[in-house]
């Protein structure tokens, strides 16, 4: 059961004092100053203080974006605090998505760690580095559920599952904000994009989303609710529309759900210029109407655009917007500024910031990279490599020595010069004992030129093994970088086949911002390490994994389809009335010529792909092998309002110490609305020595089985359930129990 506190909550006395200060400030503010608090502007460049001085003195800016020069940050703050009438400090925002100077794996890679502790530690490092540059607000975590790998922003997500995304989103919030939001080094987090952005049609960024309210509440809103319960300071609205109403003007989301139901008292910021884009959607006739709709719906601050600054005052004057609505938005913004301690400590003072030794930052980045890599294949135990058996190693491919690309998408402040690439990591590890020969073979991952393939083949023939670094450049994923074909781009497949023909063992190391369709190469290589974009220490981590210093332990946070036509494909699907089975699938090549059409015995699958993915959610191999035995429940009945203990014995049947991620899944067999075939409810990362057995205990609470029913209210229904514990969503250790009411009568 997920239970979280509010790390940034104030005592009732402190909260009351803040509310009094907010009320006092608002009572003194002019309408222009109020609208100013609702406006965020760009502040790039050394001349930002000069350019913005006048509007800052007039109190017409509440937040600035993308200024990371400490002296300039302090000058902007000085003008706002010392030269404006009311001296209200600024919020300084920046996209700190998966690191600042020290870069961790992309969020999807961090999700593959299934480790909230390392996600929190990484966010803490990022917060301290960003705070040292003057940043006090980041636009992370992104907790959109992402079921379509074509969508470029799946790289920023925690994958397809609400439980995993909730746990890791909360961890990131806690890392950024700490136990006390006003403490030096804490920065305000922003859960985004509220809501449903990950369901964009066809995986095309900014496209429309159509999500029934029941699905919205049962899947897409859950990580946002967890973030709000954890005390996230701010939320960001989605670019996309939701069921015909753009999120930036969606009062159902911003007022009914967020304010009335969840009692959120931070503030909501639009996405970049998304208020003015309401007119582009065709939802409004122009910027004036857009400002009215967004403010009325509950957008408190406009990012980058000028619809609020140009039109809110006159809209109030005309009576189209009540000043009380403006006051409420300003109160939400001021509340965050007070909680950050900006009124008491507006300036950046590096001497006040906690210090993290550089080696500790790199250690955290390396652990995150180590735990994020998912081993998808290891035929004949070709891995780990051994320096005793390998005397010559070919390292080939466009991403083997790509310090920038391994950092991944959405890194403004990362330093490629700090990157340890795969080539460097391997050379550092093996030293002089192994002859490492490197051929780039392709200029970029997109290259179609094959002129260098002959050289790559020659080097491979002279080596004992080949490490082939493939995938996507960082620019091929992220915002507005969606792909219709998610196979390996360029001539990479041909390169694989040419190297396979040498007869040497080929180990594919794949760096990418999304799940890829790997059917073209999966049978052409001996092993696959899927490394996402692993960040600053990616190469050092990969070297340790390739040579067995550590065992791979990452697990997939998103399903890998066989081909793009299976998308969307995700583990927690509904069963349908004709669910597929292995026996019901007839593939296209097996259909007899002239076969009659019939509906008898038909099930839900693709003739050319079957119904199974290439690799399922939660999957990941290890150099060890883990056995699951003696699955047991503390009772075969769980009372509504109560909890039960779920226990399983896990044994390391291998020869090396290794980590395993133990996963607990549940199925509600009968519901008043149809329920998924499996749902992740809990997980635990453990480490076991060879031959050792440990007992893992989970607490499953009846509340974990609640869902939104036909009337879209949260309910807990009695009835029959199945439960699995294992190393992936395909776990087969199964038990059954009944959820009963206090009188013991199931439905």
Q: How many domains does the chain have?
A: 3
- Are 99 and 221 members of one domain? yes
Q: Three-class SS string for 429-463?
A: HHHHHCEEEEECCCCCCCCCCCCCHHHHHHHHHCC
Q: Summarize pLDDT for 159-209 with one digit per residue, the tens.
A: 999 999 999 999 999 999 999 999 999 999 999 999 999 999 999 999 999
Q: CA-to-CA distance for 119 and 113, rounded, in angstroms? A: 8
Phi, psi at 30, each rounded to 5°: -75, 165
Q: What is the model's pLDDT at position 747? A: 46
Distance CA 301, CA 329 (A): 8
476 domain residue, yes or no: no
Both 150 and 299 in one domain: the answer is yes
40 and 152 share one domain: no
Residues 35, 100 within the same domain: no
Residues in Cβ contact with 592 at an 8 Å cutoff, skipping those fewer than 6 apart: none
Place of tokens 């619809």: 307
The reply to whether 70 and 180 lie within a common domain is no
499, 367 contact by CB (below 8 A): no
Under the banding of pLDDT at 50, 70 and 90, the label for residue 10 is low
Nearest-angstrom CA–CA distance, 169 and 258: 17
Cβ–Cβ < 8 Å for 104, 98: yes
The DSSP secondary structure of 18-84, one letter per residue, reads: HHHHHHHHHHH--HHHHHHHTEEEE--STTHHHHHHHHHHTT--SEEES---HHHHHHHHHIIIIIS
One domain for residues 112 and 149? yes
Residue 531 in domain: no
Q: What is the pLDDT of residues 269-284, one digit of tens each?
A: 999 999 999 999 999 9
Give the DSSP H/E element, type plus range, for residue 192: strand 190-194
Q: Is the per-residue pLDDT at 495 higher than 50? A: yes
**CA gap 542, 370 in Å, rounded:** 7
The rounded mean pLDDT for the chain is 96
- Cα–Cα nearest to 96, from 108, 110, 109, 107: 107
Short-list 329, 303, 305, CA closest to 316: 329
- What is the token pair recorded at 411? 């890194």
For the stretch 275-281, contacts whose Cβ atoms lie closer than 8 Å and that sit 24 or more positions apart, written own/partner, are: 275/248, 275/299, 275/302, 275/305, 275/307, 275/308, 276/305, 276/306, 276/307, 277/239, 277/246, 277/248, 278/246, 278/248, 278/249, 281/241, 281/246
Q: Mean per-residue pLDDT for 449-478?
A: 98
List, for residues 541-554, the tens digit of each pLDDT value.
999 999 999 999 99
Distances (CA, A) of 328 to 23, 93, 265, 310, 535: 10, 22, 10, 19, 41
Q: What is the CATH number of the domain that holds 638?
A: 2.60.40.10
Give the DSSP H or E segment for 649.
strand 643-652
Band (pLDDT 50/70/90 cuts) for residue 138 is very high
pLDDT exceeds 50 at position 259: yes
719-726 vs 658-668, strand pairing mode: antiparallel
pLDDT (average), residues 302-321: 98
501: how many CB neighbours lie within 10 A of its CB? 12
For residue 344, being part of any structural domain is answered with: yes
Q: Which of 352, 377, 392 is at the close of a domain?
A: 352
Indicate whether 81 and 138 sit together in one domain: no
Question: Is the residue at 719 inside a domain?
Answer: yes
C-alpha–C-alpha distance, residues 294 and 605, integer Å: 43
- For position 262, which CATH number holds? 3.20.20.300
Secondary structure of residue 511 in the 3-state scheme: strand
pLDDT at residue 2, as a whole number? 31
Task: For residues 105 and 89, state if they share a domain.
Answer: no
Q: Are 182 and 42 in a shared domain? A: no
Task: Determine the Cα–Cα distance for residues 284 and 302; give it in Å rounded to an integer.
Answer: 16
Instruction: Identify any residues that bridge with 574 across adjacent strands, giving them in sequence order.
Output: 676
Give start and end residues of each alpha helix (H) in 244-377.
251, 277-281, 287-297, 307-317, 323-339, 358-372
**pLDDT > 90 in the chain, percent:** 96
Report yes or no on 366 lying in a domain.
no
Q: Which of 300, 331, 352 is the last residue of a domain?
A: 352
Residue 78 shares a structural domain with residue 197: no
Report helix, strand or coil for 280.
Answer: helix
* Domain end (from 318, 352, 386): 352
Judge whether 365 lies within some domain. no
Q: Domain for residue 275, yes or no?
A: yes
Examine the domain organization and report whether 62 and 184 are in the same domain.
no
> pLDDT (tens digit, 9 = 90+) per residue, 222-241?
999 999 999 999 999 999 99
Its pTM stands at 0.97
Q: What is the pLDDT of residue 746?
A: 47
The domain in which residue 696 lies consists of 626-740
Average pLDDT of the segment spanning 306-319: 98
Does residue 56 share a domain with residue 115?
no
Note whether residue 114 is domain-resident: yes
Q: Are strands 679-688 and 658-668 parallel, antiparallel or unpaired?
A: antiparallel
Catalytic residues: 271
Tell me the C-alpha distance between 570 and 161, whole Å: 9
Phi, psi of 122 (to 5 degrees): -65, -40
């Amino acid at each position: 059961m997920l239970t979280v506190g509010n790390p940034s909550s104030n005592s009732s006395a402190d909260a009351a004092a803040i509310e009094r200060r907010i009320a006092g400030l608002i009572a003194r503010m002019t309408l222009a100053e109020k609208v100013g608090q609702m406006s965020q502007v760009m502040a790039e460049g050394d001349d930002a203080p000069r350019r913005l001085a006048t509007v800052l003195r007039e109190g017409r800016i509440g937040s600035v974006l993308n200024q990371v020069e400490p002296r300039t940050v302090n000058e902007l703050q000085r003008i706002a605090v010392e030269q404006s009438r009311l001296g209200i400090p600024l919020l300084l925002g920046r996209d700190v998505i998966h690191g600042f100077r020290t870069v961790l794996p992309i969020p999807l890679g961090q999700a593959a760690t299934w480790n909230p502790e390392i996600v929190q530690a990484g966010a803490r490092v990022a917060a301290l580095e960003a705070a040292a540059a003057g940043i006090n607000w980041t636009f992370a975590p992104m907790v959109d559920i992402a079921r379509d790998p074509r969508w470029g922003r799946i790289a920023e997500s925690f994958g397809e599952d609400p439980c995993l995304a909730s746990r890791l989103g909360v961890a990131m919030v806690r890392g950024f904000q700490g136990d006390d939001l006003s403490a030096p080094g804490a920065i305000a987090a922003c859960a985004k994009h509220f809501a449903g952005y990950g369901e964009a049609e066809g995986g095309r960024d900014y496209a429309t989303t159509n999500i029934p309210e029941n699905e919205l509440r049962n899947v897409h809103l859950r990580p946002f609710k967890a973030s709000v319960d954890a005390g996230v300071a701010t939320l960001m609205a989605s670019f996309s529309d939701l069921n015909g109403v753009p999120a930036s003007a969606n009062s159902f989301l911003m007022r009914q759900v967020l304010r009335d139901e969840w009692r959120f008292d931070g503030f909501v910021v639009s996405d970049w210029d998304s208020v003015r884009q309401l007119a582009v959607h065709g939802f409004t006739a122009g910027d004036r109407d857009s400002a009215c709709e967004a403010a009325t719906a509950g957008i408190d601050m406009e990012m980058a655009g000028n619809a609020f600054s140009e039109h809110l005052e006159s809209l109030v004057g005309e009576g189209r917007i009540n000043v009380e609505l403006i006051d409420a938005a300003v109160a939400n913004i001021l509340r965050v500024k007070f909680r950050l301690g900006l009124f008491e400590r507006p300036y950046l003072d590096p001497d006040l910031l906690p210090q993290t030794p550089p080696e500790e930052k790199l250690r955290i980045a390396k652990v995150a990279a180590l735990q994020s890599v998912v081993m998808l294949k290891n035929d004949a135990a070709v891995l780990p490599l051994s320096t005793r058996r390998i005397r010559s190693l070919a390292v080939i491919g466009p991403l083997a020595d790509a310090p920038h690309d391994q950092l991944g998408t959405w890194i403004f402040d990362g330093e490629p010069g700090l990157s340890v690439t795969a080539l460097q990591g391997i050379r550092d590890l093996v030293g002089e004992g192994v002859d490492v020969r490197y051929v780039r073979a392709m200029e970029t991952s997109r290259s179609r030129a094959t002129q260098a393939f002959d050289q790559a083949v020659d080097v491979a023939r002279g080596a004992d093994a080949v490490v082939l670094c493939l995938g996507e450049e960082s620019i091929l994923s992220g915002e507005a970088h969606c792909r219709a074909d998610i196979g390996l781009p360029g001539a990479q497949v041909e390169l694989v086949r040419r190297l396979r023909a040498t007869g040497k063992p080929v180990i594919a190391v794949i760096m990418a911002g999304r799940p890829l369709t790997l059917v073209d190469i999966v049978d052409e290589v001996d092993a696959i390490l899927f490394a996402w974009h692993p960040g600053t220490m990616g190469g050092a981590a990969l070297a340790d994994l390739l040579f067995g210093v550590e065992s791979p332990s990452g697990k997939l946070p998103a399903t890998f389809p066989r081909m793009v036509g299976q998308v969307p494909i995700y583990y927690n699907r509904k069963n349908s009335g004709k669910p597929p089975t292995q026996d019901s699938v007839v593939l296209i090549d097996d259909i007899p010529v002239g076969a009659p059409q019939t509906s008898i015995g038909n099930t839900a699958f693709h003739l050319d792909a079957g119904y199974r993915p290439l690799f399922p959610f939660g999957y990941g191999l290890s150099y060890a092998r883990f056995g699951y035995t003696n699955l047991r429940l503390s009772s075969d009945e769980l009372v509504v309002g109560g909890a039960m203990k779920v226990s399983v014995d896990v044994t390391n049947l291998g020869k090396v110490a290794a980590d395993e991620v133990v996963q607990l899944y549940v199925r509600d067999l009968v519901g008043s609305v149809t329920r998924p075939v499996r749902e992740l409810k809990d997980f635990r990362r453990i480490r076991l020595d060879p031959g050792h057995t440990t007992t893992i205990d989970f607490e499953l609470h009846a509340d974990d089985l609640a869902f939104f029913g036909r009337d879209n209210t949260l309910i807990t229904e009695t009835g029959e359930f199945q439960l699995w514990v294992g190393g992936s969503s395909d776990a087969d250790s199964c038990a059954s129990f009944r959820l009963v009411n206090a009188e013991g009568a199931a439905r």
